[in-house]
Structure 1
């Protein structure tokens, strides 16, 4: 289940439009017993990093309408909700699904684009976008993350 579903569950089940950090952590760790307090705090930080919640005046507000999220009966998040997946990995997986190929072959094709076509002067984030276009896989939702990753890498190399 997605991180968005977990966040929506907290706001909907507590019937609040704003939650304090302690309320969110209490709901996730003690009320629902989905994870421990540290994991719940990490989940909150990850939701903020991904733009699912916004911090305003010491409280957290969802950046989406929790009522529009389908929360299955008996919902319990899996451990992978805490993992932050690389946008390149997720887009490669989408391309592999669309192409009916293994992710390793998509990575190999991406590496060929980088080394053969661009002589090693292309970042993986750009190469995966080329592949997404080639296989007609929508990548618009990944653009902000890919751009941020490129900017972070560029800034760290210039330091």
Structure 2
């Protein structure tokens, strides 16, 4: 995943598990010249929303071991690191692929779970996790982002 590699890079390079915002922006925009300072700020926000970084008092802490990411020689992140990631849509896609059915069928089944089993008192991300468990579709890597979506919803 390019976002994970991009987030891991400055922490691996500096051998630290916490960096200030200005250090990260400097690394991305001026040191590596991967993006503008505005894009670096967007990247940090996206990494936070994805559960990869936590920010407290202007200091960003990485929430995974950066040593687990291999940074290829000559790596340069693409524009996909700035695109919003929809974990709900990704899980629908995984279930669709595993069952070899159209997305509309998965969405319909999700709505049926919400309506029939929970009387409308369940949010879509939770219903999708239930369907993923039912069909043996892996969802664990999306867990933190789905929980964050549930808290917002």
Q: Which residue of 2 aligns with 1:108?
A: 108
Distance in 1, matches of 2:98 and 2:24, equals 37
TM-score by length of 2: 0.78
Provide, for residues 90-134 of structure 1, a one-character-per-residue CA deviation record: whole Å limited to 9, x for no partner.
211221222233433322332344456656454312321232122
Residues 49, 145 of structure 2: 8 Å contact kept: no
| CA-CA distance at 1:41 after TM superposition | 0.8
Q: Compare 120-129 and 26-35 and name the one that shifted more.
A: 120-129
Q: Which residue of 2 aligns with 1:130?
A: 130
Aligned length, in residue pairs: 152
| CA-CA distance at 1:86 after TM superposition | 2.4
Q: Which residue of 2 aligns with 1:151?
A: 151
TM-score by length of 1: 0.75
How well do the aligned residues superpose, as a CA RMSD in angstroms? 2.7
Q: Which residue of 2 aligns with 1:7?
A: 7
Secondary structure of the structure 1 residue equivalent to 2:33: coil
Provide, for residues 16-69 of structure 1, a one-character-per-residue CA deviation record: whole Å limited to 9, x for no partner.
414322221122122323222111011112223433234466433323322221
Distance in 2, matches of 1:6 and 1:147, equals 23
Structure 2 residue runs without a partner (length 5+): none
Structure 1 residue runs without a partner (length 5+): 154-159
Residues 51, 144 of structure 2: 8 Å contact kept: no
Distance in 2, matches of 1:57 and 1:111, equals 41
Distance in 2, matches of 1:21 and 1:7, equals 12
Distance in 2, matches of 1:130 and 1:52, equals 24
Distance in 1, matches of 2:135 and 2:96, equals 9
